[in-house]
Structure 1
Amino acid sequence: MTTILKNNKLTAAIDHHGAELISLKSSNTREYMWNGNPEFWGKHSPILFPIVGTLKNNSFHYENNDYHLTRHGFARDMDFEVIEANDERAIFSLSRTNDTLKNYPFDFQLQIIYTLKETNLSISYLVKNFGKRAMPFSIGAHPAFALPLKFKDYEIEFEQEEPLEYHLLKNDLISQETQKLNLQNKKVKLNYDLFALDALIFKTIQSKKLTILENKKPLLKVEYEDFPSLGIWTKISAPFICIEPWFGYSDVLESTGDLLLKEGIQILEPNATFQSIFTIKIL
C-alpha cells in the first residue's frame, strides 16, 4: 500500500511498509529519490528505530536480560498504520507488539508525519513512551537521493566552514580512528574514494543544513536543526548519496552492551513524548 501526497510543485509517495518515502517528484517529473535498485541497495529512505546502526554482537543488555536487534532496528521492516491522510499530510503509526517486545521490551508508539508544503517535504518523528520505565532509544533518517549524472558532477555544501572529523567503522562498529573531511568554500566534491571505508559518521556536527549541488547548481537541501549526529554514505559506483540525520549511531568497539549506557542513546521518561523534524527542500 502507498499513500500519495501532492501539490502543484511536488508529489511524494510513502510506502506503508516501513513508512518509507519511496518517491519525491517535481512537477517536471524529475525524481529526487533513489529507485531502490537492489544491485546497489534495495531501500529508498528507511526509518531507523529503535537503534541506529549496528549493536555489538547484534545484542544489548537490559535488566539482566539479553535482547537481539539487527542493524538499524525493526521499524523499517514493519507495516505502519495510516491514522490520518489528506493531499499534503499523512501520519503513520507503529506500536509495540508481542513480537517487538521479544527484542525491545518497551511500550512505545512511533509516529512518522509527512507534510508537503510548496517545494518542501518535512518529516516529523514522534516517539511516545507508554511504559512505566525510562525507555532508551535511537532514531534516524536514511534518505537516498538520486544522482543521475556522473558522481563527480555533484558536491555537498555544508552550512558552515568547520573542522569535520568523522569516525571510521570497523566490523560495522565505530572505532576511535578518525579522519578529517576537508572543505573548500564549505563544499566537498563527491568521489567514491571518500566512501572506500564505508560511511562518514559525524558524532557531532555544527552544520544543520546540507545542500547537494549538481554541476555547481543547488539541487536540494536537507535541514535537520535538532539532530546531533549525521551520516553520509553511498555504495561504491552507486548513483545516489544518503544524507542521514541521527539521534544515535552504531555501538563503539568498546561497548559493554548496556543499552542505558550506550553512546548517543536517548532516554525517554514514562508518559513522555520525543519529537524531531527534518526537511527536504527542492531548490
Structure 2
Amino acid sequence: MTTTIQNATLSAEIKHFGAELISLKTNQNKEYIWEGNPKFWGKHAPILFPIVGTLKNNSFQYEGTDYSLSRHGFARDMAFELIHSTQSSATFALQSSAETLKGYPFEFELQISYTLEENNLAVAYHVRNKGKSKMPFAIGAHPAFALPNEFDNYAIAFEKEESLEYYILEDDLVSNKTKKLKVDDTIIPLNYELFKNDALIFKTLESNSLTILENKNPVLKVHFEGFPSLGIWTKMNAPFICIEPWFGYSDTTESTGDLFEKEGIQILESNDAFQSKYSIELL
C-alpha cells in the first residue's frame, strides 16, 4: 500500500511498509529516486532505526541480557500506520510492540512526516521514549538518487570547505583507519573506485548540505542541518548514489556491546521526544 502527495511542482509516493519514499517526481514526470532494482539494491530510501549501520556481532547487551539487531535496525522492515495526510503531506507512525521488544527492549513511538513545499520535500523524524527508563537509539536517512547517465558524469559538491576525512569499514564496523578524499574546490567527482570498500563514513562535517552535479550542473540538493554524521554510498556499477544524513553509525571495531556507550548514540529520557528533519531540493 502506498500514499501519494503532490503540489503544483512535485509528487512523492511513500510505501506504508517501512514508511519508505519510493518516488519523487517533477510535474514533467522526471524521477529522482532510485527504482529499487534488486539486481543492484532492492531499496529506495529506507528509514534506519533504532540503529544505523551494523552492531558488533549484530548484538548488544542491556541489563545482563543479550539482544540481536540486524543491520540498520527493524523500522525499514515493518508496516507503519498512516496517521495524518493532506494533499501535500503525510505522517506515518510505528509503535513498539511485543515483536520489537524482543530485539530492542525499549518502548517508543516513531513518526515519519513527508511534506512538499514548492520544489522541496521535507522528511521529519519524531522519536518518543514511552518507557520509564532512558532509551538509546540512532536514526538515519538512506535515500538513493537515480543517476540515469554515466556515473562519472556526476559529482558531489559540499556546501563548505572540508578536510573530508572518512573512516574505513572493516567487516561492516568502523575502524580507526581513515583516508582523505581529494577535493577540487569542495567538489568530489564520482567514480566507483571510491566505494570499493563500501560507504564513505564521515563522523563530522562542517557542511549542512550536499549538491549532486551532472556535467557540472546542479541537479538536487540534500539539506541536513543538525545531523552530525553522514554516509555516501553506492553499489559497484549501480546507477544511483545514496546521501545519508545520520544520528549515529556502525559500531566501532572496539565496541563494548553496551548500547549506551556506543559512539554517536542518542539518549532519550523517559517521556522525552527527539525531532529532526532533512530535505531534498530539486534544482
On whether the aligned pair clears a TM of 0.5, the verdict is yes
SS in 2 for 1:235: coil
TM-aligned CA deviation for residue 182 of structure 1: 1.7
Amino acid at match of 1:101: L
**In structure 1, C-alpha distance between the alignment counterparts of 2:182 and 2:134, rounded to whole Å:** 40
The residue aligned with 1:212 is: 212
**Does the alignment pair 1:246 with 2:246?**
yes
**In structure 2, C-alpha distance between the alignment counterparts of 1:166 and 1:188, rounded to whole Å:** 13
SS in 2 for 1:100: helix
SS in 1 for 2:127: strand
Unaligned segments of structure 1, at least 5 residues: none
Amino acid at match of 1:265: I
Map Cα deviations across residues 75-104 of structure 1 (whole Å, 9 max, x no partner).
000000000011111000000010100100
Amino acid at match of 2:7: N
**In structure 1, C-alpha distance between the alignment counterparts of 2:162 and 2:12, rounded to whole Å:** 33
The residue aligned with 1:55 is: 55
The residue aligned with 2:96 is: 96
**Does the alignment pair 1:34 with 2:34?**
yes
SS in 2 for 1:99: helix
The residue aligned with 2:150 is: 150
After TM superposition, list the pairs within 5 Å mapping 1:93-132 onto structure 2: 93-132=93-132
**In structure 1, C-alpha distance between the alignment counterparts of 2:120 and 2:251, rounded to whole Å:** 33
TM-score using structure 1 length: 0.99
SS in 2 for 1:278: strand
SS in 1 for 2:194: helix
Amino acid at match of 2:43: K
Amino acid at match of 2:243: I
The RMSD of aligned alpha carbons is 0.5
After TM superposition, list the pairs within 5 Å mapping 1:235-274 onto structure 2: 235-274=235-274
* Percentage of matched positions with identical amino acids: 64
The residue aligned with 1:175 is: 175
SS in 1 for 2:132: coil
TM-aligned CA deviation for residue 113 of structure 1: 0.5
**In structure 1, C-alpha distance between the alignment counterparts of 2:185 and 2:251, rounded to whole Å:** 33
**In structure 2, C-alpha distance between the alignment counterparts of 1:68 and 1:96, rounded to whole Å:** 16
Map Cα deviations across residues 171-195 of structure 1 (whole Å, 9 max, x no partner).
0001111000121111010000100
**Does the alignment pair 1:20 with 2:25?**
no
Unaligned segments of structure 2, at least 5 residues: none
TM-aligned CA deviation for residue 231 of structure 1: 0.0
The residue aligned with 2:188 is: 188
Runs of 4+ in 1 over 4 A off after TM superposition: none
Amino acid at match of 1:95: Q
**In structure 2, C-alpha distance between the alignment counterparts of 1:199 and 1:107, rounded to whole Å:** 31
TM-aligned CA deviation for residue 8 of structure 1: 1.3
Amino acid at match of 2:153: D
